[in-house]
Amino acid sequence: ITYYYFAVRLPSVLSPLQIPLGDVYAELKKLVKTFRLTNTNIIHKPLEWTLIAIVFLSTLSHNIPVLENSQQSPVYTQFLSTLLEELNFKNEDFGSLTKILKCDGSPERLVV
């Protein structure tokens, strides 16, 4: 189920980055497998799934070099700012989320 929601939301996230889904899918799949997801803890609204996808991609940016550079583009920065505003989040909130989920270099072991 989680992969389905990411597959639906990721194109809108990756488009401003100009990155094909295939470039990030394997790493994202490894990261998602590290969580204990059930049908009761994955119920989110579409914009929330978009934010989750962005947080996960930001977490993986050190594993996927093209992501690291692309996240600095003005188009992506505007996309992220608009999304955070719609969700009543601040940049600090986003930073906190990504910091919580930062990997230590291997998606199998998360630093929490």
Q: Is the pTM of this model over 0.85?
A: no
Cβ–Cβ under 8 Å, residues 60 and 28: yes
The pLDDT value given to residue 1: 61
Q: What tens digit of pLDDT does each residue of 60-99 get?
A: 777 777 777 777 788 888 888 888 888 888 888 888 878 7
CA 16 – CA 9 distance, rounded (Å): 13
Which of the pair, 96 or 101, is modelled with greater confidence?
Answer: 96
Domains of the chain: which residue ranges?
2-101
Joined tokens for residue 12: 């809108």
The pLDDT value given to residue 35: 74
Tell how far CA 62 is from the center of its chain. Answer: 13
